[in-house]
Homo-oligomer: A and B are copies of this chain.
Amino acid sequence: MRAVIPFKKTNAKSRLSPLLSEKEREELAMAMLNDVTEALLGSGCFKVIDILSTSIIETGGANIVLTDKGLNEALNEYLKKMTSHSINEPVLIIMADIPLVSAGNIRDITSSSADIVIAPGRMGGTNALFIRDPSRFHVDYYGSSFLKHRDIALKNGLDIETFDSFNLSTDIDEVSDLSEVLLHGKGHASRYLENLGLGFAWNNGRVGIKRI
């Protein structure tokens, strides 16, 4: 079994720019990537962990596969290459911006017996995608990828399971999402934000975030 993490460091997480500088966003992106990689390593499930990256990065425990392609192209090329090299093993594609993921989550999602398992992000996204037979699936991210991946599975006669996890559903895109990292995170990303001096702000009874 192998895991693939698509990753973009350069000008990462632009929607966090109201609060974080470009350098801070890139450092946060790296911290989140490290959280995801550690969960994958900690699960003990994978022979190979590949990071499909658009730039050279340093991280432990995973291979860096450089690509200049977009998300869908890079991942579909990866799946095709597996097939053409007769590597017939399940793949977990997992996003680099879900720092709450745990090793237990990874063990649970990869132990499903379904052909395809989707861990949805909020608002129709796909945050993790477990593909039992990569020769029979392709990805289509952006927009409501949850619906698109469900349709691709159905068209290819594959059964599909939705993986129910708050941790996996929590991708970090907007400033308000950072609250979830401070509330629930225990890893690199939450320590990074705490060290930046970020803390909670209260707004109409809802939790927000600010520099303290």
Enumerate chain A interface residues (CB-CB to B < 8 A): 102, 105, 119-120, 122-124, 142-144, 146-147, 162, 164-169, 176, 179-180, 183-184, 200, 202, 205-207
Bound Cα distance A205, B144 (Å): 8
Contacts of A166 in B (CB 8 A): 119-120, 164-166, 168-169
A164 to B165, CA, bound (A): 5
Write the nearest CB–CB distance from A15 to chain B, whole angstroms: 11
Number of copies: 2
CA distance A105 to B165 in the complex (A): 11
Contact of A146 among B105, B124, B165, B183 (CB under 8 A): B183
State A173–B168 Cα separation when bound (angstroms): 21
Q: A166 → chain B, closest Cβ, in Å? A: 4
Please tell me if the beta carbons of B202 and A122 are within 8 angstroms of each other in the complex: no
Q: With A180-B123, A200-B144, A206-B123 as given contacts, are A165 and B162 in contact (CB-CB < 8 Å)?
A: no
Question: Distance in Å from the Cβ of A70 to the closest Cβ of chain B?
Answer: 13
Closest Cβ of chain B to A82, distance in Å, is 28
Residues of B within 8 A of A102 (CB): 164
Measured CB to CB, the closest approach of chain B to A163, in angstroms, equals 8
Give Cα A200 to B144, complex, Å: 10
Chain B residues, CB < 8 A from A183? 120, 124, 144, 146-147
State the CA gap A176–B176 with chains docked (Å).
15
What are 25 A-B residue pairs whose CB atoms fall within 8 Å in the complex? A102-B164, A120-B166, A120-B183, A120-B184, A122-B122, A123-B179, A123-B180, A123-B206, A123-B207, A124-B206, A124-B207, A142-B205, A143-B205, A144-B183, A144-B200, A144-B202, A144-B207, A146-B183, A147-B183, A164-B165, A164-B166, A164-B167, A165-B165, A165-B166, A166-B169
